[in-house]
């Protein structure tokens, strides 16, 4: 059996930062939207040495290794070893949840290969892998709360062309959250509840004033050059210029998708993506 699927990157159309929980994670309110910038994953029979993950360009273990191990443990599946190959296009450590997207895609592949396709089980496994992973099990648009593990589907897709401007130097997510704490950026519980109420009232499509990333000052503090990129993307006509997740990738959200394409040549290595829905995570036989 050979199966393939795409792993769409995500953008945070908004990200409001709340207090630290007992488990060390921050409470969040965020709208996540999958976009057409994707990794590609293939599952095929493995060798005699057990399950294997191949991901050229990424050193060491990744979330796909963990996804396979946790899937087998949670479902009791003892099928033959599998090999999952990952073809990367999403920037690594760029704030677009590439690792989480790959883990979500791997769970879809494993579910189809094993016949264990209970969505609640997959979501429980995903939550154990990381806060961004549950939203990536089924691509599309979600409102995420908690540390990102509590998700509510939001109909449709965001109405933007998305200019993606990557950075040559990545940022580690834990470092950005620590810097946010040092800067005193997190809201208190009441402030986060107010943000949630404002987002709920505005959905499905947020006005520009709610397209805010409250991790952005921390990312810019660690990487001051990001400020210049934000300014340049805004000057290129973006309706919203913002850091993607924990950064350092910068996004330009353009209500006119043609304007996003026109702006791209001014930024080396930039790509233009569009919001996508669940069909972008279909599992296909090859």
Catalytic entry in 65, 102, 132, 188: 132
**Catalytic residue chosen out of the listed positions 10, 51, 66, 102:** 10
Residue 114 CA to residue 73 CA, distance in Å, equals 13
Burial 263-279 (b: 16+ CB within 10 A, else e): bbeebeebbbbebbbee
The 250-254 sheet, strands edge to edge? 240-243, 250-254, 161-165, 271-273
Q: Is 40 a catalytic residue?
A: no
- The bridge status of strand 26-45 relative to strand 3-20 is antiparallel
- Residue 37 has phi, psi (to 5 degrees) of -80, 115
DSSP 223-269: -THHHHHHHHHHHTT-SEEEE-TTSS-EEEEESSHHHHHHHGGGSTT
- Please indicate whether residue 10 is annotated as part of the active site: yes
Paired with 43 in beta bridges are 3, 84
Contact 95, 170 (CB under 8 A): no
Q: Which residues participate in catalysis according to the annotation?
A: 10, 132
């Amino acid at each position: 059996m050979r199966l393939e699927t795409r792993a769409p990157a995500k953008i945070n159309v908004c990200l409001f930062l709340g207090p630290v929980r007992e488990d060390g994670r921050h409470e969040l309110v965020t709208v996540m939207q999958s976009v057409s910038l994707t990794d590609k994953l293939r599952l095929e029979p493995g060798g005699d040495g057990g399950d294997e993950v191949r991901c050229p360009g990424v050193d060491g273990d990744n979330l796909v290794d963990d996804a396979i191990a946790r899937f087998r443990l949670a479902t009791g599946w003892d099928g033959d070893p599998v090999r999952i190959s990952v073809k990367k296009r999403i920037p690594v450590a760029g704030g677009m949840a590439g690792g989480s997207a790959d883990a979500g895609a791997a769970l879809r592949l494993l579910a189809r290969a094993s016949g264990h396709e209970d969505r609640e089980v997959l979501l429980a496994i995903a939550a154990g892998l990381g806060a961004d992973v549950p939203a990536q099990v089924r691509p599309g648009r979600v409102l995420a709360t908690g540390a990102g593990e509590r998700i509510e589907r939001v109909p449709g897709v965001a109405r933007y062309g998305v200019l993606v401007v990557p950075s040559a130097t990545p940022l580690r997510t834990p470092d950005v959250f620590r810097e946010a704490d040092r800067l005193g950026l997190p809201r208190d519980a009441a402030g986060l509840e107010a943000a949630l109420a404002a987002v709920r009232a505005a959905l499905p499509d947020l006005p520009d004033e709610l397209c805010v990333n409250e991790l952005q000052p921390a990312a810019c503090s660690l990487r001051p050059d990001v400020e210049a990129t934000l300014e340049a993307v805004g000057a290129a006509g973006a309706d919203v210029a913002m850091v993607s997740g924990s950064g350092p990738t910068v996004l330009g959200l353009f209500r006119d998708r043609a304007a996003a394409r026109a702006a791209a040549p001014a930024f080396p290595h930039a790509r233009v993506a569009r919001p996508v829905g669940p069909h972008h995570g279909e599992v296909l036989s090859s």
